[in-house]
Structure 1
Amino acid sequence: MSSEAAAFTRQYLNAAGLSLLVYEQFITWETEFQSIWRSSPWNVKLTFFIARYFSLGAQIANLIYSTPVFIRRQNGNCLPWFKLKFQTGSVMLLMWNLEAIMMVRVYALYGRKLWIGALLIFWFACCRASDVWFWTVGNDQLKLDMYCILTQVSATSRWMSLLVVINQTILWFLSYRKYRTAVRDQWIEQSPVLRTVIRDNSWTLLVLFGND
C-alpha cells in the first residue's frame, strides 16, 4: 500500500471511529447524565470526562489535522508538534486515565486495604515516570513521511507499549482472581458489578494485545 493510500485509509478509519463515538454519545446521554453528572463524586466525573470527552475532542482534532488534503496544503509539513506531541500526549493521558480506573477497581475489590492502595499508587507513579522517559527519548527517534505515516518507530516506543500490556495483564489477573473466588464461593450473584469489571478488563486487554 502506498503512503497516500495508507493516509486515506487512516482517514476513513478515523471518521468511522468518530462516528461511533458520537453515536454512542447520543444514545447513552440520559443514562450518563443521571449516573455521572448528577450523582457521582468529582473524581469519577473527572476520569469520566477524560475518557469520554477528551477522547472525543482528540479524535476530532486527529480527523482534521490528519486529512490528506490538509497535509498537502502544508507542503509536506505534517506538523510534528501535533503528530509527535499532541497525539502521543493524548494517547498517554487516556492510557493513564484507564490504568487509574483499573487500579481503583482492584483497590476496591481487595477491600480497600491501605497497603494495597499504597502499592498501587507507587506502581502508578513509577509507570508514569517510565512513560515520560520513554516519550522524551523515543519521540526524537520517530520518523514520518509527507503524509504523517510513521516510517520508523523507536525501540523505546516498543518498550512503552510492552509496559502498558504488562500493566493491564497484571490488573486483569488481580481482577480475575477475585472473580474466580466469587464464583467458587457462590457470592457472585450478590456482586453483579464484578462481572462487569472482569468483562471490561478482558475487553481492554484483548484490544491492547490486538494493537500491539
Structure 2
Amino acid sequence: MERIRAITLDLDDTLWPVWPAIDRAEVVLQAWLADHAPATHALYAEPGALRAVRNRMNTERPDLAYDLSALRRESIRVALQQAGDNPALAEPAFEVFFAERQRVELFEGVASALEFLAARYPVLALTNGNADVHRIGIGQYFCGSVHALQAGVAKPDVRMFQLAAQTLQLPVEAVLHVGDDAVLDVQGARRAGMQAVWVNTAAQAWSCPNEPLPVTVPGLPQLCSLLV
C-alpha cells in the first residue's frame, strides 16, 4: 500500500447500485413517451420491452460498443421508428432517461470515503459506463475520468488501465484500482500491472479461482481504513 500514489475508481455498483437508477430511468422514459410519443409507449408498454430493444443494439450496432449513451439513444430511435412516431424525438427522450440515470443513491459512507481519499490521493473515475460524476454531484472528489468511449476499449482490456495511468502521469504500479467486478476490475487491473482492491458489496464468491484472492472490502469506507 505504501507504493500507492493515485487511485482509480469504478463507479456503477462500486459507489452506488446501478440497476435501481436504470429501472427508474426506464419508468421515467415510458412516462415521457406516453405524453410525447403515444404510439411508441403503447407498442412497448410490456415491462422490459424497451430494455430488450436496447440489449439488441449490442449485436446490431457493434460500432457503438463503447458508447452506452449512443446505444441507448439508438434503441429509442428504433423504437420510435417502429411505432411510427417521429424518430427525431430520440434525442429529448434520451435526455430524460439520462438525467434520471444520474440520480443514484450512494452506498452508505461513500461520500465521506470519497472526501477522505481525495484529500490524500488524485482520484480518477475509470468506467465502462456513462455515469457522469459531475451530474451526480461528486465531481469535486475526482481529478478526471476515463470512459470506455474515450479509450476505445473497455475493461478488462489493459489499455483502459494504461490510459488511466497515463492520464495520472504515473506508472501503472503506482496506481490502485478499486472496483466491484472480479474480472473487469480486479483481473484487468492486475494484468495491466496495477494494484487492485475488490469491493465486494454483495458478499459474492471469488470468481477467478486461478488467481489469488485480492485485498477485499465490503465497501469504500473499509478501504479508507486500510489506507490510514
Instruction: Report TM bin, short chain.
Output: under 0.3
Higher relative contact order (CA 8 A, sep 6+): 2
TM-score w.r.t. length of structure 2: 0.26
Higher strand share: 2
Higher helix share: 1
